[in-house]
Amino acid sequence: MMKKLCGLLFSLALLCMQPASASSSEQSPDASKVHLGSVHAAVFDVENGSALYEKNSDAVVSIASITKLMTAMVVLDSGQSLHDMIEIKPIVRELGKNTYSRMRIGSELSRRDLLLIALMSSENLAAINLAKAHPGGFDAFVKAMNEKAKSLGMNSSHFVEPSGLKSGNVSTAADLVKMVVAANDYPLITEFSTTAQHDVRFKNPRYTLSYANTNALVRGGKWDINLSKTGYTTEAGRCLVMMTDIDGRSVAMVLLDSLGKRTPLGDAGRIKKWLTVGKSGKVAGVARRYEREKVAKYTQASTSN
């Protein structure tokens, strides 16, 4: 009961999320002291309901596999048994690049394990098959994704499929904070998204595949991470969202569109340093140039509109 009440309070606070006010500035470090390579970002103190940092957080952009957090919530909300075996079917819709999967078409895996590898290892075919096995099928699943987003107050978000491969899955950094906090109330999502490594056993035919978490910070084990999801497409750039404890503070961070695998991880480290010592350190030159070019394009587009 207490957890549900806390989740409700978090959601209410997120619906009216605004930049940190002067009254909270004494508790939060100077936002001008944090430097990130991500083009869009939002950092949120979950316990007191305040935005610690925002950068182009209202821009509607592609979110790649960050989508899978919404997919996971819809799967769990459906109430379907996690023990059901699901036949792996091929992707029949055009979903762009990165559709390769090691899973064998026609083999079977439980809904629980499909959800696990979709979250921890961003297995795209797993997410697609979870949607196909939903009551009413794929289209009903996508409809449920958008209904869930609306219920969370994610008014600038829209989903067209469950994997994140399509650029039509869009949101904002501010909206994704709401999604991250909501997903954090699902114990299986927190468990699965922070699992470092897992061996999955398929049936018909029997075979085993090893999967690893796509977030190196989870695999490293030095962070106190409660929830994690990475994402990447050409349109979205490198993306990372996390719920983590930093210096006794529960923090949701959303980092969208950065250059290279290391930049979002470096940004997470810079946020952690900023929250603990008051300054973040510098961004690598090539990542900084990428960020400046993308911000300039975003600013120009916003001005022309």
- Distance set, CA 284 to CA 90, 118, 263 (Å): 40, 31, 8
Q: Are 147 and 15 in contact (CB under 8 A)?
A: no
What distance in Å separates the CA atoms of residue 161 and residue 236, rounded to the nearest whole number? 15
What distance in Å separates the CA atoms of residue 182 and residue 69, rounded to the nearest whole number? 9
Q: Is the dihedral of CA 264, 217, 170, 34 positive or negative?
A: negative
Q: Which pair of structure tokens corresponds to residue 22?
A: 């002067």
CB atoms within 10 A of CB 196: 13
What distance in Å separates the CA atoms of residue 118 and residue 141, rounded to the nearest whole number? 16
Identified catalytic residue from 38, 57, 65, 121: 65
C-alpha closest to that of 148 among 175, 173, 110: 175
Is position 148 annotated as part of the catalytic site?
no
Is position 68 annotated as part of the catalytic site?
yes
Identified catalytic residue from 38, 50, 62, 68: 68
Distance spanning both ends of the chain, measured CA to CA: 46
Place of tokens 């992707």: 91
Identified catalytic residue from 62, 121, 122, 163: 122
**Residues identified as active-site:** 65, 68, 122
